[in-house]
Amino acid sequence: MATNPSNEQYQKAAELAEAGKYEEALALMEQYLDQTPGDAQAWNDAAVLLHCLGRSDLAVEYLDRARGLSDDPRIVWNLVEALLAQADLERALGLFGELEKAGILSTDALNRAACLCLGEGRLQQAADLLEWSCRIDPAQGQVLGQMIQKIRSRSDATTTQ
């Protein structure tokens, strides 16, 4: 969580968050946001607290607000995390290109999205995401190569039926 040294309330919220006191930190952060609604970093930080509390739906709303105030790619990163936690696959997938352009698309996010695709029976898309993950980190090819082949063969079998 970033700190904003110009506000005592913000700093106290950051300290509480670092101590794992997310509810208390969120309450202070929301008070700060009431006074300073144009602070993109504070919206981002409040969203991170919400996500930590398992309230990713509200975290997405806060991150959307932060994105409206800033083009910081870390906000997009956090938004993807919250969307994946909610299994909002379509929206998360739509942001992967932006993360890749910023150089911060992670193999973990791609692999989790692939897992969600598998759960929805979207085999071709799952294999494509895993291959993208391997392009980012070729070492994953050793682990994911056989999995991709199996998914592709299942996808081909489903398509020909």
- Over residues 105-130, the mean pLDDT reads 97
Q: How do residues 9-56 score in pLDDT, each as one tens digit?
A: 999 999 999 999 999 999 999 999 999 999 999 999 999 999 999 999
Residue 159: per-residue pLDDT: 59
Residue 72: per-residue pLDDT: 97
For each of the domains in the chain, give its residue range(s) and CATH number, in order of start: 1-104 (1.25.40.10), 106-161 (no CATH)
Residue 7: per-residue pLDDT: 86
Spatial separation of the C-alpha atoms in residues 107 and 122, rounded to whole Å = 19
Task: Write down the pTM of the prediction.
Answer: 0.89
Q: Give residue 94's Cα distance to chain centre.
A: 12
pLDDT band at residue 147 using 50, 70 and 90 as cut-offs: very high
Tokens (6 digits) for 149 = 């082949």
> What share of the chain has pLDDT > 70, as a percent?
93
Amino acid sitting at position 45: D
Q: Is 88 left (phi over 0), alpha (psi -120 to 50) or beta?
A: beta
- Over residues 78-91, the mean pLDDT reads 97
Q: DSSP letters along 20-74, please? A: T-HHHHHHHHHHHHHH-TT-HHHHHHHHHHHHHTT-HHHHHHHHHHHHHH---HH
Spatial separation of the C-alpha atoms in residues 66 and 76, rounded to whole Å = 9
The length of the chain is: 161
| Rounded (10°) CA dihedral 117, 61, 66, 31 | -140
Q: How many CB atoms lie within 10 A of CB 63?
A: 28
